[in-house]
Structure 1
Amino acid sequence: MLAKFFKFSERQTSLRQETVGGITSFVTMAYIIFVNPQIMSAAGMDKGTVMMATCLAAAAGTLLMALYANAPFGLAPGMGINAFFAYTLCGTMGYTWEQGLGAVLLSGIIFIVVSVTGLRSRIIAEIPLHLKKAIGIGIGLFILYIGLKNASLLSFSANPGSFIPLGDSMRLDSSIIPTLDFATDSAKLALVGIFLNVGFLLRGTKGGLLLSIVLTSALGCYLQFFSGWQLGLHLPGAMPLGNLGDTFGKCLSGFVQLFDISNGVGTMLFSLLSVMITMTIADMFDTIGTVLATASRANLVDENGNIIDGERILLADATATVMGAFLGTSTVTTYVESSAGVAAGARTGFASVVTALLFAVSVVLAPFLGMVPSAATAPVLIIVGILMASDIGDIDWRNLEMAIPAYFTMTIMCFGYNIADGIAIGFIMYSFVKVVLGKWPEVTGLVRCLTAMFLLRFAFMLIY
């Protein structure tokens, strides 16, 4: 019954393979349980309550993805968009966190409408094939960069052992150039994890990614608690939880407050429009990029690069955002870390069921998750990044018409540390190249509209 519902034989997988894949996705995503409350607290929200909402939103969204779309993708409040919620929406722009949740609800409704009408699937279909390849490669490089950062293998000469993202004033100075650094205990442990992963990968060890996390974590616990290494681990203990009733449903009152015209209709509409363009584009194209890249690794794309059952996947993702708003957290999106689960063998929604169940009980598991160091999960991301970047040879780099948009997509996505921005720049450069070559008629109407939206988004970024 289970195998038939999730199409195990059709996708050439097994219960064990899916279980391992689901656990791997969860372990690589679990950091959001601790990071999201820290970020959202800047908006005035209680950390314990946000942690509860994060766990439940991730569980509900991932389970919906499993049962409705039968896809091996984990969902949780997105990184980046949660920072926009806390620091820009509720910080610079002065919205309350209730209004912020109302904005998340509104953006989720927009996502649902766009998904039901098939527009999101059409967007994926109309992305040129070389840009689709570049998106997958760029996300692979992005994941590799995250892995190196989380492994404490990147540092700067101005502050050894730490990662400092480049600021607005970039100058040619060795103090801001990232270099490999093996000095910290976390970096040394991560090196062990990297070699374990490479060995398991080359030997074709089933469940090798998860096994490497377990072995590296065990070694890390021994080194910290018996040898005095500094890995930031903590023994299981009580975790303070909040009252979900403090945030549940508050998005409705916040939604109403968004349309306050006391400062003028024009001011309200301009402010709301800027918020919606930023949140819609960020979530939509983060998801599209992640799903495109991860689906290709899971053999869920056809010969044209289009996602099989893509409409269901995108609708599940959109609905998860609405669910997250009601629970009391920022935009819920498909996680790029799902690629680790796919690399471990996940091919169906049963892997997502496993991930969802682990998120559901993560309120109890949270103290134990503190014993899994980032140095254990970071090597998995590094290996997955390498696997995802393996399609780089499929792009004709001698053809500048293809190479220029692809290059900007990949590099901006990685070094700009933002999937949506990479896709946006890729669309803009694609359209610009077509204009310069006199091939503007080849650009579809939808791609033209999206290019205009991306340009408008960057214009808003100059204002806020």
Structure 2
Amino acid sequence: MLERLFKLREHGTSVRTEIMAGITTFLTMSYIIFVNPDILSSTGMDRNAVFVATCLAAALGSLVMALVANWPVGMAPGMGLNAFFAFTVVAAMGFTWQQALGAVFISGIIFVVLTLTGIRRWLIAGIPKSLRSAIAAGIGLFLAIIALSSAGIVVASPATKVTLGDLHTAPPLLAMLGFFVIAALDALKVRGAILIGILVVTVLSMLLGINEFAGVFSAPPSLMPTFMQLDIAGILHAGFIQVILVFVLVEVFDATGTLMGVAKRANLPLEGPKSRLGRALLADSTAIVGGSMLGTSSTTAYVESASGVQAGGRTGLTALVIALLFLAALFVSPLAGSVPAYATAPALLYVAGLMMRELIDIDWDDVTEATPAALTALAMPFTYSIATGLAFGFISYTVLKLLTGRAREVHPAMWIVSLLFVLRYVFF
């Protein structure tokens, strides 16, 4: 049955190899079951329900990827988009978390339409490489300031805006220890380095008596506090265009780039009759819609899937194993609820550092490319908004190309998105 479903021999792999690849990918991305509830619960969402929604959304997305696309790619709520959901849409813009879920749902529907019509590929082709790289790096910087703040390493200051926190207290010290554990283990190629770092800090906090141990295993908590709680009508008023636009743009770049990158590493065809890229794109689009109904931010393809590919994963059986492991993770909710913010902060900070590598792909010798890219990356943390970073980058790119007589280099997609951002600032 597995051979018929996943064509293992055709891909030069075996059941044992695929299972090991699935376990490897799960270990590298399972930190999200601790980090996502920590971020989204800051909006007032029920932490236990978000934990269940995270596991179910990851399982659903990975299952669809396995059966529809037959690709070895794990899916889960995306880092960066969960921060945009919590800290920009809800905290800064004043939407309720129910309305934010409605925005995720609408963006998912738009995403499906863009994928089915081929517009998604057109959009990707239209965004310059420098801006795509800057978006990833900027989201990394945004995650970094969130991580440093939640760990107490960076605090607010009326004189200097931000300043160093009190490093003589346990939370920042434990967060720093967790960061070094994660970085060292990852450098030594230890599987699940991020997860191990989170657990080390959590256990230490319990041993020191600053955090309570609630147990490890139990029946899954109720999903009902977040299930089908999306408020679609409530999001449809002034300002919603920007929210939807940012969700769609980040989903388009993040997921598409990840899927293509992992596929290349696995030697899967991206063009021609044997290419299943279209199915993979549709799988991650539908996962966003499903995730919003369950009660979590946008679900996306995980770049950590490359670790499973490195371990030999070549088919959807790898993704099926990931889905089953996320379902099994539903039974560790007491442990997930015991993880403090300063234990997940090192994971956020480390992921942020990895995302900063994208800066190397920017053409720093061309001012019309480098300046918009720099504005994109810098504006995200300094305005505490991914949306603002995107707006600064897109608008400055088109303006600089126009003023330097290079308007022909600007793809129509860039003009359209830039105009939408300008209209947002003028009228809203």
Normalised TM-score (structure 2)? 0.76
Q: Please, which moves more after superposition, 433-442 or 29-38?
A: 29-38
Change in CA separation of 1:330 and 1:67 when aligned onto 2, cut-off 3 Å: same
- C-alpha root-mean-square deviation of aligned residues, in Å? 4.2
Once the two structures are superposed, residues 383-439 of structure 1 have per-residue CA deviations (whole angstroms, 9 ceiling, x without a partner) of: 443333234333332321111111112112343444444233211111011111122
Shift in alpha-carbon separation, 1:115–1:240, aligned structure 2, 3 A: closer
The amino acid across from 1:195 in the alignment is F
Q: Which residue matches 2:415? A: 448
The separation in 2 between residues aligned to 1:4 and 1:26, in whole angstroms, is 25
Amino acid at match of 2:173: K
Q: Which amino acid aligns with 2:60?
A: A
Q: Give the conservation status (yes or no) of the 8 Å contact 2:401–2:409.
A: yes
Equivalent residue in structure 2 for 1:194, among 179, 183, 200: 179
* TM-fit CA distance, 1:22: 1.6
Say if 1:47 and 1:242, in contact at 8 Å, map to a contact too. Answer: no
The aligned counterpart of 2:250 is: 286
SS class of match (2:244): helix
Greater displacement, 397-406 / 371-380: 371-380
Aligned residue for 1:213? 195
The AA in structure 2 aligned to 1:411 is L
**Is the Cα–Cα contact under 8 Å of residues 36 and 51 in structure 1 kept in the other structure?**
no
Q: What amino acid sits opposite 2:26 in the alignment?
A: G
Distance 1:50 1:383 in 2: 23
**CA distance 1:21–1:242, shift in 2 (3 Å):** closer
Unaligned regions of 5+ residues in structure 2, if any? none
* AA at the equivalent of 1:272: L
Whichever residue aligns with residue 244 of structure 2, its letter is: T
Alignment-derived partner of residue 120 in structure 2: 120
* Structure 2 partner of 1:317: 284
CA 1:398–1:84 in 2, change beyond 3 Å: closer, same or farther?
closer
Aligned to 1:30: 34
8 Å Cα contact 1:109-1:322 kept in structure 2: yes
Once the two structures are TM-superposed, the CA of residue 448 in structure 1 deviates from its matched residue by 0.9
Conserved 8 A contact 2:35-2:344: no
2:108–2:285 CA contact under 8 A, matched in 1: yes
What is the CA-CA distance between 1:371 and the residue it aligns to? Answer: 4.3
Question: For 1:333, which of 276, 294, 299 is the aligned residue?
Answer: 299
Q: For residue 310 of structure 1, report the CA deviation from its aligned partner.
A: 5.3
Aligned length: 409
Task: Tell me how far apart the structure 2 counterparts of residues 294 and 139 of structure 1 sit (CA, whole Å).
Answer: 15
TM normalised by structure 1 equals: 0.71
Describe the shift of the 1:403–1:14 C-alpha distance in structure 2 as closer, same or farther (beyond 3 A). Answer: same
**Gap runs ≥5 in structure 1:** 159-170, 259-267
Indicate the residue corresponding to 2:76 in structure 1.
Answer: 75
Tell me, yes or no, if structure 1 residue 21 matches structure 2 residue 3: no
**Hey, what's the Cα distance between the residues in 2 that align with 1:378 and 1:8?**
40
Q: CA deviation at 1:104?
A: 5.0
1:223-242 correspondence runs (5 A): 223-228=204-209, 230-231=210-211, 234-236=214-216, 241-242=221-222
Distance 2:22 2:220 in 1: 32
TM alignment of 1:34-45, pairs within 5 A: 35-36=39-40, 39=43, 41=45
Q: Does 1:370 align with 2:342?
A: no
Contact map agreement 1:40 1:82 (CA 8 A) in 2: no
Tell me which residue corresponds to 2:376: 409
The Cα of 1:186 is off from its aligned counterpart by 2.6
Amino acid at match of 1:57: A
